[in-house]
Every structure is written in structure tokens, then in C-alpha cells.
Amino acid sequence: MCANSISIDEEILEEIDEFIDDDRIKNRSDAVNFLLSRALSSTRVRRALILAGGKGTRMRPFTYEIPKPLIPVHEKPLVQHIIELLRKNGIKNITMSIGYMGDRIQSRLGNGSDLNVRIEYIVEEEELGTAGSLHLLKEKPDRSFFMFNGDVLANIELHDMIHFHRKNKGLATIALTAVDEPSRFGVAKLEGDKILEFVEKPEPGKEPSKFINAGVYLLEPEVIDYVPEGRSMMETDVFPRLAKEGNLYGYKFKGQWFDTGTHEAYEKAIKGWRDIE
């Protein structure tokens, strides 16, 4: 036996082989790498930022009296489903960017102890968009971190997304979900796993793919240097620059995903969403 070899019981090898899917995991070596990466990922990614500062204008009149992150889905605040996904994947350090009726969010969630996580808050005195709040972080992250739009319901295998991100060595990875009518969204133009650009609401039949931005990002700390001061958007101010440099990747996942940005979408989410277990 050479010095670099290891012995694995046949029974364990059979379990490892069950992860081979002929897609991302093509053989036993890929499966072992995936499982080791998943086991170690909680030490690589420890923090998430949830954007919860918007006014939720498309959900009025509900959001005249309740901030959108607290709108209920299956008797839980919308944002709690995101927190439960993070907790399930071992990520318990959460920063929440709040603004509009932020005091109600803080009052409801507190420091996160009731949900077995740790929540700290940064306050947007004025709306900063989907990127600007990164400059409010009390200290710059020293490793990869997740960012979630606070109005999505998604069930993603975050450990797999971390493995994908590290394998590609880009600065940012966007979770992509396939939809039946992509022309209603910004659609990813891809070259393999690399995102070249997003085409906003293309004509039906002329979409570059069926994949859209799912509102979940895995970012390296360097991405903060791409964010302009003041109000700015990941979608228009940051991602295009990263894509031009070849540093933006798309992680295609097959789990549940619901937008809750409109009354119609919210109704579909209530009917179709299956809670995180």
C-alpha cells in the first residue's frame, strides 16, 4: 500500500456509490471529494447576510402594516424559512440588513436564540439596494459567505453549492433555478457553468436559457470591493463586472423555489411550499 492510499470498508463504498449521478458526480472519486467537501464546508462558510430592508411595495396593502420578511408562510415568518435552511446546513451566524419597519423584525426574531442561531442587525437608514448594505457590515468577512434576498423561498443543498463554488474558484456563485416562462425574468446566458450575462425579460422563444437568478449568492470577501458607495444593486452594478472578468458562476439546483414578490406568487408559495425539515 502506498503512503497516500486509504482503506475504506466495502459497505461504506457502496453508500458512497449511491451519490454518483452521472451529472456533477460521475465516479467514485468525485463522490468521495463531494462528501469530504460537504463535511468540511461548515468550517469554510460560517456566515450569511439576509437582505430584509425593502418596503415590499408590490405586496401592498399587506406591507403597509407588516414588513415583508414577516409575512407568514405556513404560520411562520417568510424569513424564518431562510433561517431554517441555513441552520439545517450548519450556518448559524446570520446578519440581517433591515430598514423599513426593522424594529418589528428585531422584536420578532431577537438575537435568534429561539431559532438556535445568532442574529445581528445592520440598519439601512435609507434604502441601499441589494448591494449597498455590504458596506454596513461591521467587519469585512474573512471567508466565503452567503447572501439571501429576504423574499425568496428556496430549498438548496448549500453544501453542494459550496463544493461547486470552490471547484470553480470564482468570486461569486449565483443559485439558478429553471422556470417554465423565463421571459418574465432576467435570464442567465451561460457558457458551461460560467454566467456571461443576464438578459432582462427577453422575448418568448428568444431566451438564452431557462435559468433565472434564485436570489441566493455565495460570495468571496473581495466582492465587497466591487460595490459602489450608497445605493447599488448586485444585479446591475456588481454581477456584470464579475461576469466580464470571468468570475461569475451559476449553480443550477433542482430543489424547491418560490418567488413571493407579488400577490399571485405569494398564493402559489403558500399552496406549494414544503417546509424545511
Number of structural domains the chain divides into: 1
Strand partners, 47: 93
Contact predicate 171/219, CB 8 Å: yes
**Known active-site residue 201:** yes
Q: Do 96 and 54 contact (CB within 8 A), yes or no?
A: no
In a domain, 13, yes or no: no
Task: State residue 1's pLDDT score.
Answer: 39
Q: Is residue 256, in this structure, part of any structural domain at all?
A: yes
What CATH number did the domain enclosing 250 receive? 3.90.550.10
Residue 241: domain span: 23-272
Nearest residue to 54 (alpha-carbon basis) of 101, 108, 119, 122:
101
Q: pTM of the predicted model, to two decimals?
A: 0.82
Give the CA distances from residue 63 to residues 50, 111, 112, 127, 243, in Å, rounded to whole numbers and listed in that order. Answer: 18, 23, 23, 16, 34
Single-letter residue type at 123: V
List 26, 201, 244, 254, catalytic entry = 201
- pLDDT averaged per 10 residues, the chain (length 277): 61 68 70 62 76 81 84 89 93 92 91 94 88 87 92 90 92 92 82 90 82 93 92 91 94 88 85 84
Please indicate, yes or no, if residue 27 is contained in any of the structural domains: yes
In a domain, 173, yes or no: yes
Q: CA 22, 23, 27: angle at the middle one, nearest 5?
A: 45
